[in-house]
Amino acid sequence: MSAEPLEIHLEEQDLSRGLREDVRVGLTATPKWLPPKWFYDARGSELFEEITRLPEYYPTRAERAVLAAHADDIAELTGAKTLIELGSGSSGKTRLLLDAFTRHGDLGTFVPLDVSVSALRRSTGQIAAAYPGLRVRGIVGDFTRHLDRLPTGGRRLVLFLGGTIGNLLPVDRAEFLTATRAALEPGDWLLVGTDLVKDPSVIVPAYDDAAGVTAEFNRNVLRVINRELGADFDPEAFRHVAVWDPEHEWIEMRLRAERPVRVRVLDLDVEFAAGEELRTEVSAKFRPEGIGRELVAAGFDRQAFWTDPDGLFGVSLARAD
């Protein structure tokens, strides 16, 4: 069975409008910031895939280990008929679950949702070819805005993997979980991956690798703004910085101006003092009891929590009350 035509709820002009708004707000704020979603043009996605294979970057390997060990449990516990993946990207780890549902259930539909048309077209084609009995229905959308467009009917399992929930600030995280619950029916399920709090000596190198791939990934957001908005950032004038914040238990990626920098973007003249930093990502780390409380507050009942053998990464399976 071939993949169905993509269902598009996010047009190019929507992305352009969103980028312009984020750049205008973030670069005029104190301190300056940009949201991490603008890393992921074609080059940014390639760089991130490279990051996931680096020796320092443990989250992908650890989460994969959890899913490999417990995919059959997830299939048996949920009995899901529809699998929905938010921010699906390449859907690489999802195949572990698709294989398990093939063995244990009668999964009928896989629905990946992502902002990237090209990534979705590629991944849906690959999934449809690998699982010929599965209906594959890709949705081009933003998981913070388009949860109301998710398909209804049947028992659904929503996947939110990769620790992506950690990129949301606490208030945004609460809104997202509440909106996800509102989009589900009682008895539907949510599977969420969370990087766990651990020694910063393990966390920081995952965001500041020796080969400099993460640094290139971080600076790529400036190249995206140059290309899409006609800005004149010099990416090489900024140094990649990864900082652990023990109070909030998250890591921040920043770009630090190596010298005074003046940038023209939109109708703005944006100035950076030497040493001034632009925050490009927050990646929160979780404690098992903390993510459990957040799920309950949003209307979920956590049924299971698993970690990899080293306790680096946690996966929660929660049912909508």
- For residues 39-45, average pLDDT: 89
More confident residue, 32 or 40: 32
The percent of residues above 70 in pLDDT, for the chain, comes to 98
Q: What percent of the chain lies above the pLDDT cut of 90?
A: 85
Query: Average pLDDT over the chain, rounded to whole?
Result: 95
Q: Chain centroid to CA 320: how far?
A: 21
* Cis, bond preceding 31 (omega within 30 deg of 0): yes
Bridging pattern class, strands 7-8 and 300-307: unpaired
Partners of 7 in beta bridges: 139
Would you say residue 144 has pLDDT above 90?
no
Which pLDDT belongs to residue 106? 84
pLDDT digits (tens, 9 = 90+) for 87-125: 866 667 899 999 999 998 789 999 999 988 888 888 899
Q: What is the mean pLDDT of residues 261-288?
A: 98
- pLDDT score for 88: 67
pLDDT of residue 8: 86
Is the confidence at residue 134, as pLDDT, over 70? yes
Q: How confident is the model at residue 41 (pLDDT cuts 50, 70, 90)?
A: confident
Nearest to 250 by CA among 304, 194, 293: 194
Q: Which residue has the higher pLDDT, 277 or 11?
A: 277
If one compares 183 and 120, the residue with the highest pLDDT of the two is: 183
Residues 6+ apart with CB under 8 A from 4: 124, 135, 136, 137, 138
- Residue 13's pLDDT band, with cuts at 50, 70 and 90, is confident
Please state the rounded mean pLDDT for residues 33-54: 93
So what's the pLDDT on residue 15?
85
pLDDT-based confidence at residue 3 (cuts at 50, 70, 90): confident
Query: pTM, whole model, 2 decimals?
Result: 0.94
| HEC assignment per residue over 46-91 | HHHHHHCCCCCCHHHHHHHHHHHHHHHHHHHHHCCCEEEEECCCCC
Compute CA 268 distance to the chain's CA centroid, rounded to the nearest angstrom.
Answer: 30
**Region of poorest pLDDT, from 107-121, 153-167, 291-305:** 107-121
Mean local confidence (pLDDT), 215-244 = 98
Give the pLDDT score at 5. 87
Look at strands 156-160 and 82-86 and give their pairing. parallel
Residue 205 has pLDDT above 90, yes or no: yes
